[in-house]
Amino acid sequence: MEEKQIKKLIEMALEVREKAYVPYSHFRVGAALLCGDGSIYTGCNVENASYPASNCAERTAVFKAVSEGKREFTAIAVMGGMEGMKKLEDCTPCGICRQVLAEFADESMLVFTGTSPENYRQYTLAELLPHSFTGKNLQ
């Protein structure tokens, strides 16, 4: 992937992170999902007083994209960190989000984490979720 596009995804993830609704954890996460057709969907985490009803940023982005007819995903940038912290920490997707990404993306999908467009790490989904259980197992 081109450096310019990676930086753009990270910037969009940082921007949507500001919209996170996190009155309980105060941990803000933003995600920007690049689809096969070049479109980008963003998402933030949305928490709930009934904690398990909360939704992660990555799944918000995936569900927005799928509900707009997109099913092919190339990459996702995830930026997370505690509210008010000067510097973010590396925030890799949780297990549930890795599983949701695996439903729609192949193993070569790229996942970018890090702290800024200048300081990021790149993983494949296969690295983050090896030996995944997918729809193929149910055929």
Q: Are 91 and 80 in contact (CB under 8 A)?
A: yes
| Non-local CB neighbours of 3 within 8 Å, separated by 6+ positions | none
Which of 35, 58, 75, 120: binder of ligand THU (CB under 6 A)? 58
Considering the complex, state which of residue 69 and residue 125 has its C-beta at the smaller distance from ligand THU.
125
Considering the complex, state which of residue 2 and residue 53 has its C-beta at the smaller distance from ligand THU.
53
Q: Which of 11, 58, 83, 118 is catalytic?
A: 58
CA distance 15 to 94: 20
Q: Is 107 a catalytic residue?
A: no
Q: Would you count residue 45 as binding ligand THU (CB under 6 A)?
A: yes
3-state secondary structure 18-40: CCCECCCCCEEEEEEEEECCCCE
Structure tokens at 135: 């729809």
The gap between the terminal CA atoms of the chain, to the nearest Å, is 32
Restricted to residues 25-44, the positions that interact with ligand THU (CB under 6 A) are 25, 27, 29
Q: Would you count residue 17 as binding ligand THU (CB under 6 A)?
A: no
The binding site for ligand THU (CB under 6 A) comprises: 22, 25, 27, 29, 45, 47, 54, 56-58, 78, 80, 91, 93-94, 97
